[in-house]
Amino acid sequence: MTPQVFYHGNDMLVVVNELKNSSSGAYTSSATVTAELKKLDGTSLEGANTLAYVSETNGKYQGIISDAASTSGLRNGRLVVIADDGAGIRGVWDFMVHFKTRADEDVD
């Protein structure tokens, strides 16, 4: 999997699409979903951020990783997303992240 790009000093939108209950297969709108940016060693860079359910969607959740996350000087990290739909129904996703500085050539 290609690492996700996060830009130093920028708010970054995190989106989870089509989250489903693993028992029923139905889209869920009631899960507690968090996203946490971490160093490669697992140390938290900001703490967990709650992703809110987007009303009238099929399991879409989104939230912001703040520009205050301490990514300066880092090249790589991890984004850990946890979804808990109660009654022992829990999912964990661990993504590689590449930190970059936004430059003129990044703008279309």
Identify the band that residue 108 occupies on the pLDDT scale cut at 50, 70 and 90: very low
**In the prediction, which pLDDT does 103 show?**
77
pLDDT in tens, 59-73: 999 999 988 888 888
Instruction: Give residue for tokens 């830009």.
Output: 7
Structural contact between residues 10 and 67, judged by C-beta atoms closer than 8 angstroms: yes
Q: What is the rounded average pLDDT for all residues in the chain?
A: 89
Torsion of CA 83, 85, 88, 89, to 10 degrees: -70
Tally of domains within the chain:
1
Identify the band that residue 98 occupies on the pLDDT scale cut at 50, 70 and 90: very high
- The residue-averaged pLDDT of 45-49 equals 88
**Cα–Cα distance for residue pair 56/10, rounded to 1 Å:** 28
CATH value at residue 39: 2.60.40.10
Domain that holds residue 80: 4-106
Identify the band that residue 13 occupies on the pLDDT scale cut at 50, 70 and 90: very high
